[in-house]
Amino acid sequence: MVSRRFVTMAALAGMLASIAVPAAALDRRVKIVNVTGYTMVRFYGSNTGSDSWEEDILGRDVLPSGDSVVINFDDASGYCKFDFKAVFEDGDELIKEGVNVCEIGTFTYR
């Protein structure tokens, strides 16, 4: 005879298995590709809940045209949407707001 407790636990396990993967477990790595013809000298990626651009992710490095870099945007905030700001050697800045890093694998600057 199956106990009532066992049936309840089995039902609970089935419900838990059907729940979608939590946002904290999503892959937030994105390949940033530069094909602009100009070297990217700074790159910022801040979650949409942030009031600032934070630090330059490239640091001392640059991203020449034709190259790419993989960046992990997991900042432990749980956010999937980030604003990107790229600064190029000629002084141009390109800003893209609301990029869903949980859904894309590559972001290309053209």
CB 79 within 8 A of CB 47: yes
Q: How does pLDDT run along the chain (110 residues), one tens digit per residue?
A: 555 554 455 555 555 544 454 555 689 999 999 999 999 999 999 999 999 999 999 999 999 999 999 999 999 999 999 999 999 999 999 999 999 999 999 999 99
User: What is the pLDDT at residue 13?
Assistant: 57
| DSSP single-letter state for residue 63 | B
CB 65 within 8 A of CB 35: yes
| CATH fold for domain 23-109 | Immunoglobulin-like (2.60.40)
Reading the block at residue 28, the tokens are: 């937030």
User: What is the pLDDT at residue 11?
Assistant: 56
User: What is the pLDDT at residue 2?
Assistant: 52
Cα–Cα distance, 83 to 90 (Å, whole number): 21
Note the pTM of the prediction, 2 decimals. 0.77
User: What is the pLDDT at residue 12?
Assistant: 52
In the three-class reduction of DSSP (H, G, I as helix; E, B as strand; rest coil), residue 36 is classed as coil
Cα–Cα distance, 79 to 73 (Å, whole number): 9
Give whole-number Cα distances, 9 to 13, 17, 19, 22, 33, in Å. 6, 12, 16, 22, 48
User: What is the pLDDT at residue 24?
Assistant: 55
User: What is the pLDDT at residue 19?
Assistant: 47
Cα–Cα distance, 15 to 8 (Å, whole number): 11
